[in-house]
Chain A
Amino acid sequence: MTDAVFFVLAGVIVASALGMVQARNLFHAGLALITCFLGVAGIYVLLKSPFIAALQVLIYAGAIAVILLFGFMLTHHVMHTDPHKRFTQQAAGLGAALAMGLVLVVTIAVSPWNKGAQAVPVSDLGSLGQQLLTTYLLPFELASAFLLAALVGAIMIARKEEGPPPA
């Protein structure tokens, strides 16, 4: 059963990832990316990490996808450019993909995989919250300061562009 679900999810992830790379329309690529994110959330559920799965949906399929799609829609003429056209971009894409692949392969190769039969530790949301407020207190508070800065920046950008009326 778990195997079947895994292969269905893996199929969705690989298909949507290919769809994203192949899409001629940047907006469609973004939608395919969201499908890919949702498939990865399903993998987290299979790994018995429901909170990580929820975060995957909330942060990746939610926040990051929204920023990405808004970025496309707010950028001048980006919807009409074909990302596959220019050779320099293709070369840059190939280089980035190869570098990323190298990092992944090396990480998988050197990671000490636990192949024993001991129980997988249950994800404990409460202790995660406790660590956030003790060990990782500074990053935790800094996160809210960063979010504040991001919003102030967004207001500045939106105020500055007092050109044509909202579409």
Chain B
Amino acid sequence: MEYAYVALFLLGGLAFVGATLTLNRFVTSPHRPSASKLLAYECGEPPIGEAWVQYNARYYLFAMMFVLFDVEAAFVIPWAVGFKTMSLDLGILPLLEMLIFLSLLALALVYAWRKGALEWV
């Protein structure tokens, strides 16, 4: 069962977080909250408004870029695994087909780059 390590890792992570938070209760000073203590810390400045605001639409671009290359990876992995046997059967075709796929996505990256979408203004 090679996934036992995954389960072990998961349990270890949960135990670590739980132990740290529990230990925190005992080590730190008594729990006496007040309005100014519960204020969000922003480098000493009093925070303006709240955190649940509408974020700039520019962030959507970064989400989309992530999705693009996330899905690309999902397609490339089975291709890479079967590449050797495919090449024996089909010659250079698998390579060309993947190059078409990747060049379209590279075009997306080039477009984003040229439009200055990767720049933070």
Q: Which residues of A contact B (CB under 8 A)?
A: 1, 5, 27, 45, 51, 54-55, 58-59, 62-63, 66-67, 70, 73-77, 79-80, 125-130, 132-134, 137, 140-141, 143-145, 147-148, 150-152, 154-155, 157-161, 164-167
Contacts and interface: CB of A to CB of B under 8 A. Distances in A.
Contact of A166 (B52, B58, B78, B111): B58
B80 to A, nearest CB: 7
B60 A158 contact: yes
A79 B71 contact: no
Contacts of A147: 67-68, 71-72, 104-105, 108
A67 B105 contact: no
A45 B83 CA distance: 24
Contacts, number: 157
A76 B59 contact: no
Chain A residues touching B, majority SS: helix
Interface string B40-72: 000000000000111111111101111110111
A159 B77 CA distance: 33
Interface residues of B, number: 54
Contact of A125 (B66, B67, B82): B82
Nearest to B52: A79
Contacts of A167: 53-56
Interface of B: 1, 3, 6-7, 52-61, 63-68, 70-75, 77-83, 85-86, 89-90, 93-94, 97-98, 100-102, 104-105, 107-108, 111-112, 115, 117, 120-121
Across the A-B interface, give the 9 residue pairs with the lowest CB-CB distance, nearest first. Answer: A126-B82, A129-B82, A129-B78, A154-B64, A79-B52, A161-B57, A144-B104, A166-B56, A70-B63
